[in-house]
């Protein structure tokens, strides 16, 4: 089954029309060790700026 990953950061290299992420893999980390209580405590390390 294909993944449907939404992304609204349209200056990311992996952003695709319709707010879709075309990255082969998504890497998300917690800002506070190994646990996060909300999305604001996470970062998407997959982001690469478009050039």
* Total count of domains within the chain: 1
pLDDT tens per residue, the chain (51 residues)? Answer: 567 899 999 999 999 999 999 999 999 999 989 999 999 999 999 999 998
Q: Which pLDDT value is given to residue 51?
A: 87
Domain range for 18: 1-51
> What CA–CA distance (Å, rounded) separates 30 from 35?
6
Number of Cβ within a 10 Å radius of residue 21: 20
Supply the pTM of this predicted model: 0.79
Q: Is the dihedral of CA 46, 5, 23, 49 positive or negative?
A: negative
**What confidence score (pLDDT) does residue 46 get?**
96
């Amino acid at each position: 089954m294909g993944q449907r990953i939404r992304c609204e950061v349209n200056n990311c290299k992996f952003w695709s029309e319709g707010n879709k992420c075309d990255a082969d893999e998504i890497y998300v980390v917690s800002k506070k060790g190994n646990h996060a209580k909300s999305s604001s405590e996470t970062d998407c390390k997959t982001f690469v700026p478009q050039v």
